[in-house]
Structure 1
Amino acid sequence: MAIPGNLLSATTSEIDPNTSGWVQKLNATLSKGTGGRVGDGCLVVRSVAAGETQARTVSSYAVTPGTVYYAFSDAAGASSTAERIGIRWMSNVATEISITWSVSTAAASASWHRVSVAGQAPVGATQAQVVLSATEPGAAVNHFWENVYFGLPIRTTGNLLDFNTESTEVDASGWAAVVNATISRQVPVVNWASTQYLAGGHTLAMTAIAAGNASVLATARPTVTPGVEYLAYCYLQPPTLASTAWIELRFYDINDNQVAVQRSTLAPPGTGMYRQRASLVAPANAATCSVAAGLDSASAGQVLRLETVVVTVAPKFAAGSILTYSAASFEQAGASGWTTTSGVATLARTTPWGLSFFEGAYSLAVSSATATASTIRSGRFSGVVAGENFRAQILAHPAAGSWSSVTIRIRWFDASNNDLGASTGNAFTLPGSSWYLLPSDAVAPANATQAAVELVATAAATSSVLHIDQAALWQVLPQTAVEAVDSGGYIQLTLRELTLDYELTVWRLQADGSRALVRGPSGLIDRQVITSDIMVIEDHEAPLNTQVRYYIEQYAPGSLTVASTRSSERVTLTLDDFNLCWLKDPGNPQRNMRVMVRQAPDWSRPIEQASFVVRGRRNKVTLSGRRQGLEGDLVLLTQSDEERAALHLLLDSGNTLLWQAVPGMGVADMYVAVGQVPEARVSPLAQEQWREWTLPLTEQDLPVTVGVNGAAGRTWQDVVTEFATCQDVLDTYATCEALLLDRRG
């Protein structure tokens, strides 16, 4: 799969089908090897003699001075050699200005591992090349490279921290020692998945100066909103199995005084890379935040490594859930606010990291020493509306012994924390040892403003253990909702309670029984993998003034059988004025516009024909191809300079467009290609803004693979994090659309 944003071609990145994207630079011969990670091919760099070998990209790639660029590759070599990767900066006359090198790997490895580097293009640089380097002990030693990337930095969408603080790929300037520590960058040998593009080679290495506690702190202070829960996480690599390694999310007031902190301690199963999470609601006086990490009771010289450090708004396991992430995920030490209100059950976070989880790395362990019932309850959470239906839901996994039943219910409280009683709940039997989804619905009673998730778990044997994960409590909204947005020319379809990792197909059905697939970000939504339990789809190709509904199918991964279906209500997208029509770009709905029709096309249908005169016969013999689609001129009017500019933008791309007129005007919805377009004034008056456009239309087929462009999860917070000033944004993006789509000039 192509790496998003990669300036390198697929052949250069994946070394398939050949090595044509690479050339030797120093002491090397190149060939294509097998056993690659992305496809079978890989680049073999073979040393001619002992010493450093180098290979570089054949092509140079345009860069802008002052902009940070990023390169990485997966590498594997002989057991006695390490490697590094570099960005070679070139002038406009192809002269080398400098090379920005990564730190060499800390050890050699014959297994695939990641190396990477990032740096700012220097003054005078107009192009760059990627350079791969290894120092070999002798002649005829092979080094292997594949999965190569060069382009703009790849960062976690939604991260409040900048790219260098997250990745340490440029330098370690985003971090400061707090106590008993020095900071450096190291490249340990880590076998990341080939598609784990957020993980690079460099890690932040904290070294304890002396025995005792040691810690470091990110110097960035991104702003936060009081009352919002934030999540900090990173990969930690502890020095020993017995290490006490931790990450902290810290909040500061406007004067940079620390006002709150949440620590999350790693329970390592080894000395690899383990993602650890800490979450906390920003207090009322919080203005900024940061991330700290460290070791308790460290020995002198011990090293803690950090990779992919992120602070972001904490997610919800169900859209609208009122439970905090900490209470729902159990990623921090302890029971995350859950208590045993009756019975003998004890509560604790599972240990070690990765022992049992459905999300993250931990779950809540409910341990019953006797074969009795225990009641376990979460903390209270506000957000309840009396008279509305709410759903409590958990995932449960019998880990030891047996459980005769688990009842899930909701306990209600008023604004004064008075107990209003619990719902009846649903009782479940857990026949095996899988993860089971346990939901229960109830209507909030009068005066209820708060609620808690409550479990009654009955052990059927002594020493029984039940693991709980992904708790949620939310107001139940319609699973499927539709709304016609007439002003925008689209129907909004909202799908809730989708099953993660299942595959989704969405059909648009008309009253005459015809149906068509609906378009999404990756093209027509046909067996697309579900990545969120809620999906909002804007159907910009819905017909005008025609009643439609939507039919949704979910499939288990890889299955050919429909697992579940649902349908929407009927809805009609309206265009009242028959003098208007819609012109739409299916892949760029932000360009769609409603325009005035001056004259509809007079259609022609061309056909390829050849006529032959047969001697002695009166009539010619004519051989014909198939008659082609409609062709004709659509004459439009724009009424202002703004409309004129918008129509130029719509036509600039040359994409296939969708033309929609009001039904009854003698033309159906039609996909069209637009030829050369004259733009004429409607009067000789110089300040006249009206324009007459003649659009030569040629009928086209439905574009199947075109996906709907969008922000891909980016928000204004990402823009604020990446750019220091508004001028930086203006210098980077030519238009608002370029900002939306992150297309940098």
Structure 2
Amino acid sequence: MAIPGNLLSAVTESVDPNTSGWLAKLNCTISKGTGGRNGDGTLRLSSTASGEMQARTASSYPVTVGQEYQAFADASGATVPERIGIRWMTAANAEISITWSLSTATASATWHRIAVSGTAPATAASAQVVVSATPAAGSVISHFENVYLGVPMRTQGNLLSADAEGIEHATLKWVAETNCSIARQAPMVQWPVDYYLAGGQVLALTVTANGNAAAKVTEKPAATAGTEYVGYCYLSPPTSGSTTWVELRFYTAADVLLTATRANLAAPGTGYYQQRVSAVAPATTAYATLAVGITSGTAAQVMRIDGAVIATAPVIREGSIVPYADASFEADVAGWTVTSGVATLARSTPWGTYGIDGAYALTVSSATATASTIRSARFPAGAAAGLSFRLQLYTNVSAGGWTIQRHIRWYDAANNSLGLTSSTSATAPTPNWWVLTHSGTAPALATQAAVELSLTATSTSSALRVDAVQIWEALPLIEVDADDTTAVVTLTLRELTLGYLLTVWRVTSDGARTLVRGASGLIQYEVIAGDQLIIEDAEAPLGVPVTYYVEIVADVSAVPETRTSDPVELDPGDTQYAWLKDPGRPDRNMRIMMAEPPSWSRPVAQAEYRVRRRRNSVILSDVRAGLEGTLAVYTQTDEEREALHRLLDSGSTLLWQAAPGHGVDDMYIAVGAAAEGRQGMATDTWRTWQLPVKQVDMPVTVGVASSAGRTWQDVLTENATWAEVLSKYLTWEDVFLDRKIGA
């Protein structure tokens, strides 16, 4: 799979099917190796003699002066360490300099990440990727693949910059705070081939003297009081018994520390483990930051850090009122308590042993075969009275046995209990993880809710794991809404199962089904990535009632869960107008006035054979082609004229939709040479356009371009000023899609 945003071609990136994207630069020969992960091919370097060997990309890629770029690759070499560099070139293709990564700490035949980032210097016009190793003899072999060159990768929604999240450029975004020094190192770490957010270089915190040590991010991203945030990073402890931690801190505008919430890593070893911590920003919060450290460290011990993130805390189920700390148990048991019985509560250990969301779960233990009740904190539910809510949680019986009764306990604004809505009591299912649910209607005056579980251990020394706890208002599973101003039907699907496969059809009154378009093309057996999905169908017909039919399956051979929406219809409005739409860029769609009704022809490819002494020819014909003709339309303002140019610029297949009753169905068209004519005086803004069109098939693989969760926070984090935004992007559409100049 191609690396998103890569300036390199797919062949250069994956070294498949050949090495045409690469050239030997120094002391080596190159050939195609095998055993890669991004396709089987690898770039195989064989040294000619002792000394450094280098290979580079065959092409140079345009860069923008002052912009930071990142290069990474996966490397494998049993004999010598490797490094990677960005080679900056002038407009005359002369080398300016090379920004090198550190060399990996030792050689390793296991695939591991190497990475570097740097800022394009003042005279740079282009860049190349260079890979390097320094053997002590000839015929030493190193392999490289999965190569990237582009803007630095960062987690979408991260309040921290790419240089604070990763350590590929320098340690300038971090500072030693207590009893330590910090530096960059390049250990051999094997990340999944399609995980691009962790690089080849990490932050190394070295303890100065026996005792506690800490470092922190120097950036101060803005935070909002009352919002729950999550902070996390990868931690590699010096020993499995070391107490390392990540801490989320909130400060006032005067730089006064308000709160510091810490989560200790329960490490099963000395690898890299993503440890999360979450907290709600208190009143007067102005900004947040992230700190890491080790408790009771030993002098010269080294802990390593990578992938630092501060973001708005995730919601496990869309609309859930349970805060992340109380739902996922990544730091501790949060607001959960035992209200009766002998049960005890703890966070599971070690990291990764139990968990549905994250790396930990709530552990309920009972030494005796008796009943206990546990309860969460209270969570604001708004004006909940009379509304239906759903409770969902995951359980895993890891020892003994249990019976479980699930409740939602309701409270008024004064924290008075209003009683319970309860499920029946039942034996906890085994083995492995099970999802348990309960639905109930909030009573009068209810504004808060808590989760309560009545648990009875059926044997001594019983243990139950609980994770991913959620309460949300039970809204319709499928919902439609028509927006006549944009000619778009919005389809909302709720309570989807992650990892299942989704297919969505639009159904007309005659029963005809058409697959609906999503981000990756027509939605057919698409893997579900979130519990709620909003689909904007810009290809729905005008003036015709349609419904949406959905199938959800665990796999293609399974019996599907089905959903059918209510009917919905788009109002075509003034019949003198039609819509021109780009299926892949619906933001460019426009409603446009027709100048005259189109006339159509249907050409056919024919071969004529004249037979001697026969009156009639023999004609051999192919099937008759689709409609061809000219759409004559008006643009009435300069804004409309520019919008039509923008719509036509890509040369993509368009959808033409006219109001019913015009004797022509919706039609996918290819537009030829567009002619723009004036109406009269030069100052008249009206234009008459002649658009020669040919009917074509509906594009199947074209997906709807989107930002996939990109927000203004990402723009704010990535750019210090609006001038910087203007220097990176040509249009607001490019800002939305994160399509930088030259990318």
TM-score by length of 1: 0.98
Q: Residue 165 of structure 2 corresponds to which residue in structure 1? A: 166
537, 541, 556: which one pairs with 1:559?
556
SS of residue in 2 equivalent to 1:737:
helix
In structure 2, C-alpha distance between the alignment counterparts of 1:571 and 1:395, rounded to whole Å: 37
In structure 2, C-alpha distance between the alignment counterparts of 1:63 and 1:681, rounded to whole Å: 40
For 1:30-58, what per-residue CA distance to the aligned partner results, in whole angstroms no more than 9, with x for missing partners? 12111111221111111112221111111
For 1:442-463, what per-residue CA distance to the aligned partner results, in whole angstroms no more than 9, with x for missing partners? 1111111111011112211111
Q: Residue 717 of structure 2 corresponds to which residue in structure 1? A: 721
For 1:614-640, what per-residue CA distance to the aligned partner results, in whole angstroms no more than 9, with x for missing partners? 111111111111110100111111111
Coordinate RMSD, CA, aligned: 1.0
Cα deviation, residue 339, structure 1: 0.7
Q: Residue 706 of structure 1 corresponds to which residue in structure 2? A: 702
| Equivalent residues in 2 for 1:394-543, closer than 5 Å | 394-403=393-402, 405-543=403-541
Q: Residue 52 of structure 2 corresponds to which residue in structure 1? A: 52
Q: Residue 575 of structure 2 corresponds to which residue in structure 1? A: 578
In structure 2, C-alpha distance between the alignment counterparts of 1:626 and 1:691, rounded to whole Å: 37
Cα deviation, residue 351, structure 1: 0.5
Paired letter, 1:704: V
SS of residue in 2 equivalent to 1:112:
strand
For 1:373-394, what per-residue CA distance to the aligned partner results, in whole angstroms no more than 9, with x for missing partners? 2111110011241111111110
In structure 2, C-alpha distance between the alignment counterparts of 1:688 and 1:53, rounded to whole Å: 66
TM-score by length of 2: 0.98
Paired letter, 1:732: K
Is the contact between residue 393 and residue 408 of structure 1 (CA under 8 Å) also seen in structure 2?
A: no
In structure 2, C-alpha distance between the alignment counterparts of 1:533 and 1:121, rounded to whole Å: 41
| Equivalent residues in 2 for 1:223-622, closer than 5 Å | 223-333=222-332, 335-384=333-382, 385-403=384-402, 405-556=403-554, 558-622=555-619
In structure 1, C-alpha distance between the alignment counterparts of 2:259 and 2:165, rounded to whole Å: 22
Which runs of no fewer than 5 residues in structure 1 stay unpaired? none
Cα deviation, residue 698, structure 1: 0.5
In structure 2, C-alpha distance between the alignment counterparts of 1:302 and 1:616, rounded to whole Å: 102
In structure 2, C-alpha distance between the alignment counterparts of 1:711 and 1:34, rounded to whole Å: 35
Paired letter, 1:380: R
| Equivalent residues in 2 for 1:627-638, closer than 5 Å | 627-638=624-635
Which runs of no fewer than 5 residues in structure 2 stay unpaired? none
Is the contact between residue 70 and residue 150 of structure 2 (CA under 8 Å) also seen in structure 1?
A: yes
653, 676, 698: which one pairs with 1:656?
653
Paired letter, 1:9: S
Paired letter, 1:725: T
Paired letter, 1:220: E
In structure 2, C-alpha distance between the alignment counterparts of 1:650 and 1:362, rounded to whole Å: 50
Q: Residue 677 of structure 2 corresponds to which residue in structure 1? A: 680
Count of residue pairs the alignment pairs up:
740
In structure 2, C-alpha distance between the alignment counterparts of 1:327 and 1:94, rounded to whole Å: 57
Paired letter, 1:41: G
In structure 1, C-alpha distance between the alignment counterparts of 2:516 and 2:576, rounded to whole Å: 27
For 1:668-714, what per-residue CA distance to the aligned partner results, in whole angstroms no more than 9, with x for missing partners? 0000011111111222x232111111111110100000000011211
Paired letter, 2:87: R
SS of residue in 2 equivalent to 1:423:
strand
Cα deviation, residue 580, structure 1: 0.8
Paired letter, 2:275: Q
Q: Residue 76 of structure 1 corresponds to which residue in structure 2? A: 76
Q: Residue 37 of structure 1 corresponds to which residue in structure 2? A: 37
Choose 389-398 or 38-47, whichever is displaced more: 38-47
In structure 2, C-alpha distance between the alignment counterparts of 1:428 and 1:97, rounded to whole Å: 72
Q: Residue 646 of structure 1 corresponds to which residue in structure 2? A: 643
Paired letter, 1:496: R
Paired letter, 1:15: V
Is the contact between residue 12 and residue 57 of structure 2 (CA under 8 Å) also seen in structure 1?
A: yes
Paired letter, 2:414: S
SS of residue in 1 equivalent to 2:325:
helix
Is the contact between residue 410 and residue 425 of structure 1 (CA under 8 Å) also seen in structure 2?
A: no
For 1:294-340, what per-residue CA distance to the aligned partner results, in whole angstroms no more than 9, with x for missing partners? 0111111111111110010001111111111000000003x111111
Is the contact between residue 65 and residue 120 of structure 1 (CA under 8 Å) also seen in structure 2?
A: yes
Paired letter, 1:94: N
Cα deviation, residue 213, structure 1: 0.7
Paired letter, 1:711: S
For 1:99-139, what per-residue CA distance to the aligned partner results, in whole angstroms no more than 9, with x for missing partners? 00001111221111000000001111111111111111322
Paired letter, 2:25: K
SS of residue in 1 equivalent to 2:352:
coil
Is the contact between residue 405 and residue 422 of structure 2 (CA under 8 Å) also seen in structure 1?
A: no
Is the contact between residue 243 and residue 295 of structure 1 (CA under 8 Å) also seen in structure 2?
A: yes
SS of residue in 1 equivalent to 2:644:
helix
Is the contact between residue 658 and residue 671 of structure 1 (CA under 8 Å) also seen in structure 2?
A: yes
In structure 1, C-alpha distance between the alignment counterparts of 2:294 and 2:730, rounded to whole Å: 47
Is the contact between residue 600 and residue 633 of structure 1 (CA under 8 Å) also seen in structure 2?
A: no
Is the contact between residue 372 and residue 455 of structure 2 (CA under 8 Å) also seen in structure 1?
A: yes
In structure 2, C-alpha distance between the alignment counterparts of 1:675 and 1:562, rounded to whole Å: 46
Paired letter, 2:338: T
Q: Residue 13 of structure 2 corresponds to which residue in structure 1? A: 13
In structure 1, C-alpha distance between the alignment counterparts of 2:665 and 2:410, rounded to whole Å: 55
The answer to whether the aligner puts 1:736 opposite 2:737 as a matched pair is no
In structure 2, C-alpha distance between the alignment counterparts of 1:630 and 1:185, rounded to whole Å: 64
Choose 356-365 or 562-571, whichever is displaced more: 562-571
Is the contact between residue 11 and residue 18 of structure 2 (CA under 8 Å) also seen in structure 1?
A: yes
Cα deviation, residue 477, structure 1: 1.0
Is the contact between residue 611 and residue 620 of structure 1 (CA under 8 Å) also seen in structure 2?
A: yes
For 1:576-624, what per-residue CA distance to the aligned partner results, in whole angstroms no more than 9, with x for missing partners? 2111111100000000011111212110001111212111111111111
In structure 2, C-alpha distance between the alignment counterparts of 1:358 and 1:345, rounded to whole Å: 22
Cα deviation, residue 8, structure 1: 1.2
Is the contact between residue 428 and residue 438 of structure 1 (CA under 8 Å) also seen in structure 2?
A: no
Choose 426-435 or 610-619, whichever is displaced more: 426-435
Paired letter, 2:483: V
In structure 1, C-alpha distance between the alignment counterparts of 2:196 and 2:425, rounded to whole Å: 43
Cα deviation, residue 426, structure 1: 4.0
In structure 2, C-alpha distance between the alignment counterparts of 1:730 and 1:201, rounded to whole Å: 31
SS of residue in 1 equivalent to 2:723:
helix
Is the contact between residue 426 and residue 439 of structure 1 (CA under 8 Å) also seen in structure 2?
A: no
In structure 2, C-alpha distance between the alignment counterparts of 1:638 and 1:3, rounded to whole Å: 40
SS of residue in 2 equivalent to 1:111:
strand
Q: Residue 23 of structure 1 corresponds to which residue in structure 2? A: 23
Paired letter, 1:71: A
Q: Residue 2 of structure 1 corresponds to which residue in structure 2? A: 2
Q: How has the CA–CA distance of structure 1 residues 104 and 630 changed in structure 2, closer, same or farther, with 3 Å as cutoff?
A: same
In structure 1, C-alpha distance between the alignment counterparts of 2:429 and 2:114, rounded to whole Å: 47
In structure 1, C-alpha distance between the alignment counterparts of 2:578 and 2:3, rounded to whole Å: 39
